[in-house]
Structure 1
């Protein structure tokens, strides 16, 4: 612990401890006292862990773009998507004329980087259908071959917090071919397997000159291809046919280069975690690149020195983001989770609220004025009670990460600061009772 509890009187003064009136219980039998004590100096050991890969198949959000950052390195996000076959029944009494083939994309409002710059994205045809990995999944590390020349390229400006729709016109040649083949009832429209053999899908690749990564929704209308055409009888009727993303065969790919950053030597796997005191008193969490944290309280049992019997009444964990590491080019996650693991790092449960049912989400407090009092907090009373007085294999640990859906769909990030010599660092506040016989 940062400050040891050797003297009750000194501790009460130094730590603004709260003491109730001495309880003289059964004085004829024993002379004893109860005290309520508060201390905010329990050491928090927070480490950084890198996942090997993240499953991104089937997500309702994709990320596109490129960004280079001093802390996280150079990151590129691409999207690979198979498209679902569309149903069309031509009428022999009608004629049809092609209008346009349009790709529609809707921002989620998520961003990472300089939103005042433009981002250029190229759309490529895949060379082959998307095939699932051996375990029937697709990951952020999966890369597929693409055609050498893009079908189309476009430039857009990110709009933080605004769900704006983009429309990108795809080549007329592709649109005319699709319409003609639909009218002729070509065989590859008979099933999804036949359709993807003919049209394997698209890859959305960002140019490395970009300075922002942006989130886009994936649903029946966003990231979908719409064929606009006219149905001609006595009148010309505008029609459209939509090819939406087959999310079972679509995923976000992430490529990174962390050379020259504090994370350059990170190796994936929980056994390769790096403690904050080996990373400049900092710990790193970020969705999609796969960084999360482990938390331990190595000196918790030193509280036993405060009295003959020590009872934990309340324990609150405070986690502070590094000042000026957020808001300008990135977003703090509003929801982060604590998970309890055993000594072998096997997940056992969430950390719940006082009702024992509600999963805690970090209770983010934002200091809009100075940022000095921006922090996450968790009530870890039950966890501390269960682990107080335990050692070795009986001691549980905590893992800290965004919820699964955000881990796989955003680059929201936190750099935690954990320097014991400074204010507003990661800390554990504990209120406890002590009992002493006189």
Structure 2
């Protein structure tokens, strides 16, 4: 805030260089002056907050893998899935032969880590069906028991930008058992409750030495199990039966260890937020691990000292990612959101654009050549106007987060720089007018 006060002193002292040509109003009637002033050093207090957990049940994207990063810590992503019952009516005049049982997986294009390293995933059978928590949901922190020995393990190399489907062959014994029971019309295919008791589902678990986490689509074909068989009469006809994920009972589980990082002492809950000046002048945002931010402007009302009447004309918030914190391993999200909260941190609304309708998304500007002038920006004029001159319980706050769909399905992330003694840090640019009677 010292910079702000110093800037105001300099600006007001040299006001003739800053005022517009019509700054003196009604001079013949009243001895007064009206000035336009711009200041770009208003303190931005940005904090990091950790959510207790994130709901991931029913998501259209799951995450698999393991990655360790010096800034964020160590993270592992496991996918737990129940499968929907399916069946066919066998013809007593036909015979049937098993071909294969295949798990199909289509990458979503999301990744975090080194995509040049091979990833090894083990597929386990769940010991028991998936049940919802007491509040009828499933969260990143929910862990389920699996059988001690995997059905199989497989290795693949991620290919960012490509959605080429993976086909993982499951054990023939499982496929033959399913086909035999289908032909015998076993009653566990009659309902979902019976099917899940017989076949509780799968857990896809990454090895702990992996160097990347990859997103996969979850839909009727991706993450689905397909039984390939032949229907034999006078000729052989290839058939398939798909067991798709029952998304009501499927979710991504996350294990996140922040030991050894600046975030090691961070506890969940907005009441445990840590200010950037206590995090080496940084703030952290990341999907799935539940990191988001609170923003306040503690010295905003000091602008009242600039004149007898102060009118806010415009205000723009600039947020700079820490140089070197984003690269081919950690890509910046294109879309982030600002939310307005009351003094009790209850969400009230989005921060909209100048039309009052369009939700702002951060207006990411990327310095492709040098990487120094990459930043997000928000027009916060209305928010600053509404909070200028307010104190205590009347003062609103801002929350900054990824959009909901990215917060619950990706590891997209940003480290914000907030060192007031350095260039390209979080800042609030304000243009305002002052009126003084002489």
Q: What TM-score results when the alignment is normalised by the length of structure 2?
A: 0.97
Equivalent residue runs for 1:11-410 within 5 Å = 11=11, 18-410=18-410
8 Å CA contact retained: 1:23, 1:32: no
Note closer, same or farther for the CA distance 1:227–1:17 as it changes in structure 2 (3 Å cut): farther
Question: Partner of 2:181: helix, strand, or coil?
Answer: helix
Q: Structure 2: state its 5+ residue gaps.
A: none
8 Å CA contact retained: 1:120, 1:210: yes
8 Å CA contact retained: 2:287, 2:409: yes
Question: Partner of 2:153: helix, strand, or coil?
Answer: strand
Counterpart CA distance in 2 for 1:238 and 1:97 is 10
Counterpart CA distance in 1 for 2:168 and 2:14 is 65
**Residue in structure 2 matched with residue 431 of structure 1 by the alignment:** 431
Shift of 1:3: 2.2
8 Å CA contact retained: 1:15, 1:39: no
Note closer, same or farther for the CA distance 1:263–1:277 as it changes in structure 2 (3 Å cut): same
Deviation digits for residues 306-326 of structure 1 (CA, Å, limit 9, x no counterpart): 111111111000000011111
Note closer, same or farther for the CA distance 1:78–1:9 as it changes in structure 2 (3 Å cut): closer
Deviation digits for residues 253-289 of structure 1 (CA, Å, limit 9, x no counterpart): 0001111111111110000000000010000000000
Question: Partner of 2:385: helix, strand, or coil?
Answer: helix
Note closer, same or farther for the CA distance 1:117–1:7 as it changes in structure 2 (3 Å cut): closer
8 Å CA contact retained: 1:5, 1:11: no
Counterpart CA distance in 2 for 1:48 and 1:354 is 28
Q: Aligned-residue CA RMSD in angstroms?
A: 1.6
Counterpart CA distance in 2 for 1:245 and 1:266 is 35
Q: What TM-score results when the alignment is normalised by the length of structure 1?
A: 0.97
Note closer, same or farther for the CA distance 1:204–1:48 as it changes in structure 2 (3 Å cut): same
Counterpart CA distance in 2 for 1:27 and 1:14 is 20
Shift of 1:9: 7.3
Question: Partner of 2:174: helix, strand, or coil?
Answer: helix
Counterpart CA distance in 2 for 1:141 and 1:405 is 18
Counterpart CA distance in 2 for 1:18 and 1:95 is 90
8 Å CA contact retained: 2:7, 2:39: no
Counterpart CA distance in 2 for 1:106 and 1:100 is 19
**Residue in structure 1 matched with residue 421 of structure 2 by the alignment:** 421
- State the aligned residue count: 438
Counterpart CA distance in 2 for 1:284 and 1:146 is 33
Note closer, same or farther for the CA distance 1:27–1:15 as it changes in structure 2 (3 Å cut): closer
Counterpart CA distance in 1 for 2:347 and 2:42 is 24
Shift of 1:28: 3.9
Question: Partner of 1:3: helix, strand, or coil?
Answer: helix
Q: Structure 1: state its 5+ residue gaps.
A: none
Which range moves more in the overlay, 160-169 or 55-64? 160-169
Counterpart CA distance in 2 for 1:102 and 1:223 is 10
